[in-house]
Structure 1
Amino acid sequence: MSAVLPVLAARLSTAAAAAFGPSYGDLDPELRSATKPEFGHYQSNLALRLANALGRPPREVAARLVDVLEIADLCEPAEIAGPGFVNLRLRASTLAAAVNEPRTFTSRHQRVVVDYSQPNVAKQMHVGHLRSTVIGDALCNVLQYVGYDVVRQNHVGDWGTQYGMMIEQSLEESLDPKDLDLQGLQLLYERSRKHFDADAVFAGKSRNRVVLLQSGDPETRASWRRMVDVSLADFDQVYALLDSKLTRADVVGESAYNDELPRVVDDLTAAGLLTESDGALCAFLPGFTGRDGQPLPVIVRKSDGGFGYSATDLAAVRHRVSTLHADRIVYVVDHRQALHFEQIFALARAADWLPPTTTAEHVGFGTVLGPDGKPFKTRAGGTVKLTTLLDEAVSRAAALLEDRDGIDREATAKVVGIGAVKYADLSSDRGNDYVFDLDRMVAMTGNTGPYLQYAHARLTRLLSKAGAEHDQVTEPGQVTELKEPAEERLALLLTGFADVVEQVAETLQPHRLCTYLYDVATALSVFYEQCPVLTSQGSTRASRIALCAATRTVLQDGLGLLGMQAPDAM
């Protein structure tokens, strides 16, 4: 029995239909984990909602529901508590079977396109890119795990006025962009920005250079291409340090849609969706107004004839539906872009580029804060390079492991340090801001990445020792008995892994998986204290070893879904 919760929910629905009529079988039983051990394993408020609809006393309805509920093969007799809650307690054999036969997923035959990371060419990745990359990777992992066909898209900022500025500045300074690293390109951008703002003649040359870039001038395109290549090579190094699954093949920058932008405008105009306003072509969508009550436009083509990022995003939506055949599109972009994506999705639907059968979701996230509670900045007020933070995290982890013997400290420090940063980012609700505090992140206690990684390493050591005692490495057997409350609690949590992962796939909230894994690790600690493993005997020992092996698998799989490695030793 690998899917206990869905089966029990279905049995409750069947009982409601049998007791009160077929229409009542459609009510969600809202089966939830019991709030206290004395209430069993699961609770349902179905009887209370049925009583409200039927106009009958809740406990009377609960009694009738329990009377026809067929769960003897899975649970102890159901109990009625309080005003009419139905409490269910799984049989030990049911729990053991659920641990031994974990639920698996099959293909859903649906494609999800996930847009995330989105760094800008000629600029070093900074802490602002951390969240999009870490959250996006975790969501891709989870969506793939539950059976979706996942397509990763890195919508790199590689087009626009800044490249005209930089190319003109490099020509004036007789620089070849291929001779510059990413730091040099960023400094070139900063110089060109100041020049552009201070010199109208230079600004005019830069705008003309953008026209040459967009029209395919060979010399201009060659300079731009070198900037892109240098940047992508640096991004690859950051992704490797983060152990991100993003590859060069996933990069589809703004430039990829350049040739489509005139057609975007033409098609929206033909559909009657664009209006000229002060020389610009805009869409005024119903329901979008500013604080002054005036309509908020989506500027598709600017008054100078250029295209803004709204046009690019519209082209991207159309490409992802028509060419990539997306059933679901997910954008992992900070919460400040919420209105923009609402408008883009609305306009794409009005143009029939985003059909009703395809969902589009903006996964917004909060800001990374410094210890002062303000957006994380350097002492000079600039943005903090992502590599600087990651290197410091690895250094802190190395100090933590300094007195540990029998491990590859350098490799383990990287796994623990990077994992600590990822977990800190993912463990709080993504919509909230969070403080970047390395001391807290690398702590071995509390709800941290290292705490979970250590739990996995400790289990690995225990299982290795169990095999060594028999002078062989054996495959753990089956969980056959759950006699102690701590065993039962741990087993119950393990049966919920698949349900939690499915919730994350639906809600796109990875902190739910973090909370679950922390609960598992905490229950494991209690289990260690109350249920000796290696010193127990016979079937009890074998069953507890099997329970440890199942827990190790859940921790390893769960950490993997979060984009973290699970070290065998720490």
Structure 2
Amino acid sequence: MLSLPSLLSERVQAAAGIDPELRPATRPQFGHFQTNVALRLANAEGRPPREVAARLVEQIDLSDLCEPLEIAGPGFINLRLRADVLAGAASQVLAEPDAGIARAPQPRTVVVDYSSPNVAKQMHVGHLRSTIIGDCFTRVLRAQGHTVIPQNHIGDWGRQFGMLVEQILEEGLDASALDLPAAEALYQRANSHLKESEEFADRARERVVLLQAGDAETRRIWQQLIEVSLAGFNQTYRRMNVLLTDADIAGESLYNADLPVVADDLADRGIAAVDDGALVVFTDGFPAPAIIRNAHGGFGYTCTDLAAIRYRVGTLHANRLIYVVGAPQAYHFEQVFAVATRAGYLPSEVSAEFVGFGQVLGADGKKFSTREGTAVTLNSLLDAAEQEAAPSIALAAIKYADLSNGLQKDYVFDAERMVATTGDTGPYLQYAHARVNQILRKAEAEGIGFGAVTVLAEPAEQSLALLLSRFGEVVAQVGDTLQPHRLCGYLYELAGALSSFYEQCPVLKSEGEVRASRLALCASTRKVLAIGLGLLGIEAPDRM
């Protein structure tokens, strides 16, 4: 469903032949929108702007949407939507289960790769943004009717497991009895041991060979470490209200058997060649080749990511791939996509998008880390926010601060500012929802009913109704552009329009049809706030 502003723009452009560049009117007496299209056409046609404006007003057919168009000043055209049209749009939002979110005309199967923590390590600040952003994409795309398959590409394979298993055996530990912090402490001990003892390092390398060969004891301990880690990850995911489950796990180990297949395929077809002992692919536009297999016979991240693309396209039948990974990985994924395209693993009908994000910074504007210089754990960040507010409010603060920021930008983690219930924050939007819910609760307690929006005489009522009509289109934009700050900005604007409406239009103190209509407008706004916050992964509380 096109929003009212988009419908207006489409109709004016049909008559004018160019984008009318509609702008909200600066004052209510000028209507709802203005366009300077006549002035731009007059310059090209060499005619007076008001003459061109008069011609356009005759040609533009908006009688079903607008009051008669007006020409102002040197040739601006003012457009005022009819009150009944605005009322109908607000009522439609209330009547539709999804508040006007349009179903995608051609639903796709979308893989979203996000979160991706490492086994035997706690999630840290670096996983915060990937998890929040990927979860938002999953929610938005599902709301549009796409089939979304999250892929949590955990680090569950590699050389580190040699030292981990060897350290467990040396200490006589039961790996299944560990929790995630204890597993991380084990990792640190094993890493120190590896650096201090060449004999231990040799045993760790031999253990990796046993792991790769399928040795029963090694695989059993490896599996225990994974299960311990997943228990810790899931606890954090529940705390963060994200949708990831064990069913979404697709770790590095999943592609292990396919790595030599990919390497042989690329070599056999002449796409990859041996260079200085390593199997590499030279790709135009990249200063260094993509390393498929190193000189020691080991497969790197490039080969794993190529195998993942083959699996996601060939087995999961995805036709859109989205990678939510830190911005520094952009080069790697651009090169992977280029090799995958050349190899035919990524056909032209499948899109692959890298969504890089900036860093979370401390109050000093530097990379967020502990005094020891290590990464801050994700749970400790949540703890810091919960010292300022209740868990659901603290989480709203963190998620909104993350998503309302342009994804590429770094942002400062300031818990005290983020939990404020005034200004552009998540708790402010939660408060707006709770406040409108309180009005509707009072009306219900007093037995005051309502149906549709019917009376929109005041500018504040009309502004609110107009914003409500845009919700579905904003969600569609986020699904297309993968820019969640657009939805955040829209919801903040909606909450501000709701506040202006309260100040200028009494609800419960009004009477008759006006009161019933204003209650319906409140109910439409509550619905959009609740669904919109839900798409951000934020709870919409009934009370605050």
Amino acid at match of 2:4: V
1:349, distance to aligned residue in structure 2 (A): 0.6
In the alignment, which residue of structure 2 is the partner of 1:66? Answer: 57
Provide the rounded CA distance (Å) in 1 between the counterparts of 2:179 and 2:113.
Answer: 26
Is this contact kept in 2: 1:2–1:99, CA < 8 A?
no
Is this contact kept in 2: 1:490–1:520, CA < 8 A?
yes
1:381, distance to aligned residue in structure 2 (A): 2.2
2:321 to 323, 326, 329: 329
1:153, distance to aligned residue in structure 2 (A): 1.0
In the alignment, which residue of structure 2 is the partner of 1:190? Answer: 188
- CA separation of 1:4/1:261 partners in 2, compared to 1, >3 Å: closer, same or farther? same
In the alignment, which residue of structure 2 is the partner of 1:450? Answer: 427
Provide the rounded CA distance (Å) in 2 between the counterparts of 1:249 and 1:37.
Answer: 53
In the alignment, which residue of structure 1 is the partner of 2:517? Answer: 543
- Superposition pairs for residues 151-300 of structure 1, below 5 Å? 151-289=149-287, 296-300=288-292
- Superposition pairs for residues 278-427 of structure 1, below 5 Å? 278-289=276-287, 296-397=288-389, 413-427=390-404
- CA separation of 1:66/1:384 partners in 2, compared to 1, >3 Å: closer, same or farther? same
Deviation string 1:296-326 (CA, Å, 9 cap, x unpaired) is 1211111111111111111111111111111
- Superposition pairs for residues 410-559 of structure 1, below 5 Å? 413-470=390-447, 474=449, 476-559=450-533
In the alignment, which residue of structure 1 is the partner of 2:31? Answer: 40
- Superposition pairs for residues 119-130 of structure 1, below 5 Å? 119-130=117-128
**SS in structure 1 opposite 2:283?**
strand
Provide the rounded CA distance (Å) in 2 between the counterparts of 1:338 and 1:427.
Answer: 22
Amino acid at match of 1:456: H
**SS in structure 2 opposite 1:285?**
coil
Amino acid at match of 1:514: C
Q: Point out which structure has higher relative CO (alpha carbons under 8 A, 6+ apart).
A: 2
1:367, distance to aligned residue in structure 2 (A): 0.4
Is this contact kept in 2: 1:168–1:209, CA < 8 A?
yes
- Superposition pairs for residues 18-167 of structure 1, below 5 Å? 24=17, 29-31=20-22, 33-34=24-25, 37=28, 39-44=30-35, 60-80=51-71, 86-102=77-93, 103-107=100-104, 108-167=106-165
Is this contact kept in 2: 1:365–1:431, CA < 8 A?
yes
Amino acid at match of 2:158: G
Moved more, 63-72 or 536-545: 63-72
1:61, distance to aligned residue in structure 2 (A): 4.5
Provide the rounded CA distance (Å) in 2 between the counterparts of 1:223 and 1:281.
Answer: 32
**SS in structure 2 opposite 1:555?**
helix
- CA separation of 1:52/1:261 partners in 2, compared to 1, >3 Å: closer, same or farther? farther
**SS in structure 1 opposite 2:387?**
helix
- CA separation of 1:247/1:46 partners in 2, compared to 1, >3 Å: closer, same or farther? farther
Is this contact kept in 1: 2:272–2:280, CA < 8 A?
yes
- CA separation of 1:63/1:355 partners in 2, compared to 1, >3 Å: closer, same or farther? farther
Is this contact kept in 1: 2:69–2:79, CA < 8 A?
yes
Amino acid at match of 1:376: F
Provide the rounded CA distance (Å) in 1 between the counterparts of 2:202 and 2:324.
Answer: 35
Runs of 4+ in 1 over 4 A off after TM superposition: 27-39, 43-62, 80-86
In the alignment, which residue of structure 2 is the partner of 1:21? Answer: none
Provide the rounded CA distance (Å) in 1 between the counterparts of 2:294 and 2:337.
Answer: 20
Provide the rounded CA distance (Å) in 2 between the counterparts of 1:280 and 1:86.
Answer: 67
1:15, distance to aligned residue in structure 2 (A): 2.3
Amino acid at match of 2:57: V
Is this contact kept in 2: 1:2–1:101, CA < 8 A?
no
Deviation string 1:221-264 (CA, Å, 9 cap, x unpaired) is 11110100000011010000001111110011011010111111
Moved more, 385-394 or 318-327: 385-394
- CA separation of 1:3/1:302 partners in 2, compared to 1, >3 Å: closer, same or farther? same
1:29, distance to aligned residue in structure 2 (A): 4.9
Aligned pair count?
A: 537
Is this contact kept in 1: 2:152–2:249, CA < 8 A?
yes
In the alignment, which residue of structure 2 is the partner of 1:404? Answer: none
Is this contact kept in 2: 1:456–1:567, CA < 8 A?
yes
In the alignment, which residue of structure 2 is the partner of 1:560? Answer: 534
Deviation string 1:408-438 (CA, Å, 9 cap, x unpaired) is xxxxx22212111111111111111111111
1:202, distance to aligned residue in structure 2 (A): 2.6
Deviation string 1:92-125 (CA, Å, 9 cap, x unpaired) is 1111111111334235321111111111100001
In the alignment, which residue of structure 1 is the partner of 2:96? Answer: none
1:478, distance to aligned residue in structure 2 (A): 1.1
Identity among equivalent pairs (%): 58
Provide the rounded CA distance (Å) in 2 between the counterparts of 1:76 and 1:36.
Answer: 16
Amino acid at match of 1:122: A
Provide the rounded CA distance (Å) in 1 between the counterparts of 2:265 and 2:74.
Answer: 60
**SS in structure 2 opposite 1:114?**
strand
**SS in structure 2 opposite 1:159?**
coil
1:373, distance to aligned residue in structure 2 (A): 0.7
Provide the rounded CA distance (Å) in 1 between the counterparts of 2:40 and 2:258.
Answer: 53
In the alignment, which residue of structure 1 is the partner of 2:97? Answer: none
Amino acid at match of 1:460: N
Runs of 5+ consecutive residues of structure 1 not aligned to the other structure: 17-23, 290-295, 398-412
Is this contact kept in 2: 1:264–1:315, CA < 8 A?
yes
Is this contact kept in 1: 2:394–2:419, CA < 8 A?
yes
Amino acid at match of 1:64: R
Runs of 5+ consecutive residues of structure 2 not aligned to the other structure: 94-99
Moved more, 185-194 or 1-10: 1-10
Provide the rounded CA distance (Å) in 2 between the counterparts of 1:320 and 1:377.
Answer: 35
Amino acid at match of 2:456: L
Provide the rounded CA distance (Å) in 1 between the counterparts of 2:27 and 2:309.
Answer: 47
- CA separation of 1:429/1:150 partners in 2, compared to 1, >3 Å: closer, same or farther? same
Amino acid at match of 1:564: I
- CA separation of 1:99/1:194 partners in 2, compared to 1, >3 Å: closer, same or farther? same
CA RMSD of aligned residues (A): 2.1
- CA separation of 1:424/1:170 partners in 2, compared to 1, >3 Å: closer, same or farther? same
Provide the rounded CA distance (Å) in 2 between the counterparts of 1:325 and 1:57.
Answer: 58
Amino acid at match of 1:558: G
1:48, distance to aligned residue in structure 2 (A): 6.2
Provide the rounded CA distance (Å) in 2 between the counterparts of 1:384 and 1:566.
Answer: 28
- CA separation of 1:382/1:37 partners in 2, compared to 1, >3 Å: closer, same or farther? farther
In the alignment, which residue of structure 2 is the partner of 1:11? Answer: 11
Is this contact kept in 1: 2:101–2:476, CA < 8 A?
no
Provide the rounded CA distance (Å) in 2 between the counterparts of 1:82 and 1:132.
Answer: 50
Provide the rounded CA distance (Å) in 1 between the counterparts of 2:523 and 2:426.
Answer: 20
Is this contact kept in 1: 2:156–2:226, CA < 8 A?
yes
Provide the rounded CA distance (Å) in 1 between the counterparts of 2:436 and 2:78.
Answer: 33
Provide the rounded CA distance (Å) in 2 between the counterparts of 1:37 and 1:218.
Answer: 76
Provide the rounded CA distance (Å) in 2 between the counterparts of 1:245 and 1:387.
Answer: 17
